[in-house]
Structure 1
Amino acid sequence: MKGHQAAELDDFKLKDEATVIRDVGLGQVLEVEAISEQERKVLRKLDIILIPLMGVCYMMQYMDKLALSQATMFNLRQDLHLKGQEYTWTSAVFYFGYFAWSWPSSYLIVRLPLGKYISVSVLVWGGILMCHAAVKSFGGLVAARFFLGVGEAAIAPGFSLITGMFYKREEQPARQSAWFLGNCISTVIGGVVAYGIGSIKIHAIASWQLLFLFLGAITAFISFFLLILLPDSPKKAIFLTKPERAIAVQRTLRNKTGVLDEGLFKWDQAWQAVRDPQTWFLVLYTFCVNLCNGGITSFSSIIINGFGFTEIKSLLMQMPLGAAQIIFLVLTATLATLIPNTRILMMIFNTIVSTIGMILVWKLDEDNRKGRLTGLSLGAVFAVNIPLSLSIISSNVAGFTKRSTTSALLFIAYCVGNIVGPQFFYASEEPYYPTGMKAAISGLALGAFFLICLLGYYVWENRRRNRLFGVPGQMTESQELALGLSSMTDLEIEGFRYVL
């Protein structure tokens, strides 16, 4: 096997240059000596431009998701005459759109220029959010929510792929968490923004309509910055010089996860993703915890209002949820970065914290407002596992097509969980939703179980590979770089070991 793999690498290195038409070619990459200071300069540029760009975009994505829940405090349900479970379905249908477009999006992400595809998706989503202000009925809101899900489907998987392209495996947890910080900030400031908009009195337009117009316009505006600055790949980053692009390519080749194989969808890699046990442990975990997420995202304003706060003050009381997420995000991302092989342990910890929080909301006395709000804040902590789970995909799934397929399956599970979860929040049980609380707690507990299974699988598989192939040895630089460019998958690379 080792001889066969070495021969494949030799064949790859001897391919005719015409088959590798790249602005930053293999020869140029091999010629670059990425001196530590040069590499640090490239890393600083990436951190200064890419992370804030993705962070602001992701912040707007979650603010736009929260907008529907916040709009209920401005009489959206009354103005559109929503009855029974109709509001629940307007929340869930967003994820039908997200689900419907996840698989086509995983194909288009590979076939189209990645940065341009994400930028156009953001522009479409901003435009559709503005269209929410024009809806007059349940049917119109359902249609708007469905297409909003279509517009947002490419964002998180696309950002995850970009992070894997530009950052080393050990750098990825901190960077995934850095742009995901936008999600937490949106929870903190989203209520303040909605509160401010609610304080504006315009007789010609309702407050909930103004909320959708304001957030949609900002989102569409951001898309133009993405179009200019968000690169399709390291070789096309306009903010890097040509030598810096070569350094950007070289520094991530040691990930052995493929960085330059965009443009061709490989069906054998897609099939590998479907057969890989790690895919299904991640999928099952994602589905289970999003039974809770669907409820918190859609009903947080109503639940907090049930604690005894006024409608407008309920928007401000969402701030502790974001604060708790920021604290746990910084804590667990820092530990996962500083202490090797602790990513899954940090995810298990966050999930258990959220389980305890939701139990507090369910079991504490109705007049214990502070205790129940604390529980709801802790219940939202599991959401900070998203960047850690994305970093697991970008670090442990090699092959561009396999990685995009795995990301698509993960986000399909995310959609299904968010569709199913709100169905347990019955209108007849408002505002305490005991059935919804039980479903959320059960989902979080099962999520922790599947993470334990994933950890066990990685440990077992690494040990199995060590027995079969021996502990990975030091490769020559040319072999290492050729392997990084070869687009082989983690199942095909004998020296590949999973990070935990």
Structure 2
Amino acid sequence: MSDSLQKTSSIEKVELSGTQSHLEHVPGFSAGSIPMTNEQSSLVRRKIDKVILPLLIWVYFLQILDKSVIGYGAVFGMKTEAKLVGNQYSVIGSAGYWAQLGWQPFSAFVIVRVPVRYLMPFIVTAWGIAMCGLAASTNYRALLACRFLLGLFEASCLPLFAMITSTWYRRSEQPIRVAAWYGMNGGASIIGSFLTWAVSFAHGGSLYVYQILFLITGVITVITGPILYWRLDNSPASARFLTEEERVWAVQRVKDNQAGSESTHFNWKHAIEASWSPVTWLYVSLALFNNLGASVSNVFGPLIINGFGFKARPTILLNIPFGVLQLIFIAFACLVATKFKIKSIMIASLTVVCIVGSTLLYAIPRSKPNSTGPLLFGYYLFPALFAINPILVSWVTANTGGQTKRSVMLAYYNMGASAGNIVGPLLFTANQAPAYHKGLGSVMGIFAAQAVVTGLLAFVFMGMNKRKEKTRIKNGKPAKIHDRSMDIKYGAPIVDAQTEEETAQATKVGSNAALDITDFQNDEFTYVI
């Protein structure tokens, strides 16, 4: 018996009964089974990487660039030229996140109901138009209104990207792919800094520097919309860039995620389950804490560097290493999390790095001789913060089953992130400049709370895995199930059966993978720690 199971480690028989509903529209499709090797799985993955991943990377780069240029504009006189007073700049920085916070309940519904190929081009074009509106804004009210609209149309971006990643990739592949598009936080910092530096030399025209920045990024974003409609596909089952056989493989290779089948039906029971789960609110807490800390660099980073005593152009250029370090931290953290198949320890470690950075910025006096180097070192530890979010997002998608529940979980997560981005800029009020000691002190406490919640969530998942083992025994299944979705190579057996009894139990495993059920309902689901 064990010999027959070992054969499945090299060739996986694709059972089409669970995927037929997604593939019946594919020309030439018929029920049956198709042999699939690790090499064939890798072939499909490489094709997905060439078509889908670049689109995610480019659009996420635009999203970060579009909403971060407001910080660069502030360094080059936007507050003066738009006659902003008091905390009006902070309010503008928060306005987009108010829109995101309010839209999230609707976002969860829209992401499930509207095909990706229509939804993404629409929201990208719309936020590009909002950016062009910012370019035409010369006063507080106009800037506030356009920043609100920008946030509204960007609201679905992160949950939509996470859903797309979990639809196309196995759980073991997701952290690296999330890192690839989320790493554009660093790419946008680098390109945005260079772009702002170049535009700063424009003098004597009818447009201010900040208006030129908004116009350039807005036009590029608007042009991207139609390109997305041309290149993007809704799901592996309908991918135009795959052959008929490869579409079947593409669906099969992600079944081990136990995330449920592709569905455009919004299941209200699954939505309620997500709302009542303590896990949801622990994730929301982490999103809140992490994005409270992100305000240090997102909105006030250039101003904090400016407070070290640098002039406008050097301030912008000194933000370039920050972007490079973001890319390094994100790549390193996601590679480690993928290799060791554990996310909580990586998140906690990165949080400690952020605590050290905020402590240095808080404790070192600005007036102290030779303080610039240590202050910059402390500031350059903050890119570790941006390596936490991609691991968190992949943690949410990996540990949530069911299309509706995953969409709702991501919407709640983004609500926490939006709330953090709303409150974060308000921690750094104008009367704290240039040191912003009060805001930095608050951020130190927030990071400490984040480390504690991360440990608590890991403990909760360990307990939930133990309960799953007891449930499987009760249902006549093996207690221990190998989580193939976390394997680098495709095709390992789910159960290492050594006896006839274990082999009989093994035949009961795997039937839930194609069902649109939640992780709570699926006794074969394994939570990632």
Instruction: Give the TM-score taking structure 2 as reference length.
Output: 0.87
Q: Residue 487 of structure 1 aligns to a residue in which SS? A: coil
Match of 1:294 in 2: 295
Residue deviations 1:195-228, cap 9 Å, x none? 1111223512111100000011111222222212
- Structure-1 separation of matches of 2:179 and 2:416: 21
- Structure-1 separation of matches of 2:22 and 2:38: 28
Q: Residue 32 of structure 1 aligns to a residue in which SS? A: strand
1:288 touches 1:443 (CA, 8 Å); kept in 2? yes
The one-letter amino acid paired with 2:430 is A
Pick aligned residue for 2:421 from 413, 418, 421: 418
Unaligned segments of structure 2, at least 5 residues:
1-14, 474-478, 482-493, 496-504
Evaluate the alpha carbon distance shift between residue 227 and residue 388 of structure 1 in structure 2; reply closer, same or farther with a 3 A threshold.
same
Alpha-carbon offset, residue 259 of structure 1: 3.7
Alpha-carbon offset, residue 467 of structure 1: 3.3
Match of 1:8 in 2: none
Match of 2:11 in 1: none
Match of 1:137 in 2: 139
Q: Residue 379 of structure 1 aligns to a residue in which SS? A: coil
Match of 2:167 in 1: 165
Match of 2:462 in 1: 459
Matched, 1:250 2:252: yes
Alpha-carbon offset, residue 314 of structure 1: 0.7
- Structure-1 separation of matches of 2:255 and 2:283: 25
Pick aligned residue for 2:111 from 109, 112, 116: 109
Match of 2:180 in 1: 178
Match of 2:274 in 1: 273
- Structure-2 separation of matches of 1:178 and 1:270: 29
Alpha-carbon offset, residue 27 of structure 1: 7.6
Match of 1:206 in 2: 208
- Structure-2 separation of matches of 1:166 and 1:20: 14
1:354 touches 1:378 (CA, 8 Å); kept in 2? yes
Evaluate the alpha carbon distance shift between residue 25 and residue 468 of structure 1 in structure 2; reply closer, same or farther with a 3 A threshold.
farther
1:98 touches 1:150 (CA, 8 Å); kept in 2? yes
Pick aligned residue for 1:371 from 353, 368, 374: 374
Residue deviations 1:57-93, cap 9 Å, x none? 1111111121111001221111111111111100011
- Structure-1 separation of matches of 2:432 and 2:471: 57
Residue deviations 1:45-68, cap 9 Å, x none? 111222221111111111112111
Matched, 1:405 2:408: yes
Q: Residue 298 of structure 2 aligns to a residue in which SS? A: helix
Aligned residues: 486
Name whichever of 301-310 and 113-122 sits farther off: 113-122
Matched, 1:393 2:396: yes
Alpha-carbon offset, residue 355 of structure 1: 1.2
- Structure-1 separation of matches of 2:410 and 2:252: 24
1:347 touches 1:382 (CA, 8 Å); kept in 2? no
Evaluate the alpha carbon distance shift between residue 85 and residue 34 of structure 1 in structure 2; reply closer, same or farther with a 3 A threshold.
same
Evaluate the alpha carbon distance shift between residue 140 and residue 48 of structure 1 in structure 2; reply closer, same or farther with a 3 A threshold.
same
2:19 touches 2:514 (CA, 8 Å); kept in 1? no
Evaluate the alpha carbon distance shift between residue 20 and residue 289 of structure 1 in structure 2; reply closer, same or farther with a 3 A threshold.
closer
Q: Residue 361 of structure 1 aligns to a residue in which SS? A: helix
Q: Residue 34 of structure 1 aligns to a residue in which SS? A: strand
- Structure-2 separation of matches of 1:479 and 1:438: 55
Q: Residue 33 of structure 1 aligns to a residue in which SS? A: strand
Evaluate the alpha carbon distance shift between residue 282 and residue 88 of structure 1 in structure 2; reply closer, same or farther with a 3 A threshold.
same
Q: Within 5 Å, give how 1:30-429 maps onto structure 2.
A: 31-261=33-263, 263-340=264-341, 342-366=342-366, 367=368, 368-429=371-432
2:290 touches 2:389 (CA, 8 Å); kept in 1? no
2:90 touches 2:425 (CA, 8 Å); kept in 1? yes
Match of 2:6 in 1: none
Match of 2:514 in 1: 485
- Structure-2 separation of matches of 1:29 and 1:389: 38
Match of 2:435 in 1: 432
Unaligned segments of structure 1, at least 5 residues:
1-11
Name whichever of 450-459 and 434-443 sits farther off: 434-443
Residue deviations 1:176-202, cap 9 Å, x none? 111212221111221111111112235
Match of 1:6 in 2: none
Evaluate the alpha carbon distance shift between residue 138 and residue 339 of structure 1 in structure 2; reply closer, same or farther with a 3 A threshold.
same
The one-letter amino acid paired with 2:525 is F
- Structure-1 separation of matches of 2:322 and 2:373: 13
Of structures 1 and 2, the larger Rg is shown by: 2
1:94 touches 1:148 (CA, 8 Å); kept in 2? yes
- Structure-1 separation of matches of 2:229 and 2:17: 36
The one-letter amino acid paired with 1:357 is G
Alpha-carbon offset, residue 464 of structure 1: 2.4
The one-letter amino acid paired with 2:69 is A
Match of 1:496 in 2: 525
Match of 2:498 in 1: none
The one-letter amino acid paired with 2:518 is T
Alpha-carbon offset, residue 480 of structure 1: 6.1
Residue deviations 1:265-311, cap 9 Å, x none? 00000011112222111101111122111232111111110111111
The one-letter amino acid paired with 1:76 is M
Q: Residue 492 of structure 1 aligns to a residue in which SS? A: coil
- Structure-2 separation of matches of 1:65 and 1:461: 39
Alpha-carbon offset, residue 254 of structure 1: 1.2
Evaluate the alpha carbon distance shift between residue 71 and residue 369 of structure 1 in structure 2; reply closer, same or farther with a 3 A threshold.
same
- Structure-1 separation of matches of 2:43 and 2:110: 32
The one-letter amino acid paired with 2:403 is F
Match of 2:487 in 1: none
Q: Residue 300 of structure 2 aligns to a residue in which SS? A: helix
1:169 touches 1:395 (CA, 8 Å); kept in 2? yes
Alpha-carbon offset, residue 150 of structure 1: 0.7
Evaluate the alpha carbon distance shift between residue 21 and residue 171 of structure 1 in structure 2; reply closer, same or farther with a 3 A threshold.
closer
Alpha-carbon offset, residue 236 of structure 1: 2.1
Alpha-carbon offset, residue 16 of structure 1: 13
- Structure-2 separation of matches of 1:478 and 1:27: 26
- Structure-2 separation of matches of 1:113 and 1:301: 38
Alpha-carbon offset, residue 114 of structure 1: 1.8
Q: Residue 466 of structure 1 aligns to a residue in which SS? A: helix
- Structure-1 separation of matches of 2:358 and 2:60: 25
Evaluate the alpha carbon distance shift between residue 29 and residue 419 of structure 1 in structure 2; reply closer, same or farther with a 3 A threshold.
farther
1:184 touches 1:325 (CA, 8 Å); kept in 2? yes
Alpha-carbon offset, residue 469 of structure 1: 2.7
Pick aligned residue for 2:444 from 416, 441, 460: 441
- Structure-2 separation of matches of 1:450 and 1:25: 49
Evaluate the alpha carbon distance shift between residue 13 and residue 172 of structure 1 in structure 2; reply closer, same or farther with a 3 A threshold.
closer
Evaluate the alpha carbon distance shift between residue 478 and residue 108 of structure 1 in structure 2; reply closer, same or farther with a 3 A threshold.
farther
Q: Residue 512 of structure 2 aligns to a residue in which SS? A: helix
- Structure-1 separation of matches of 2:87 and 2:31: 58
1:399 touches 1:487 (CA, 8 Å); kept in 2? yes
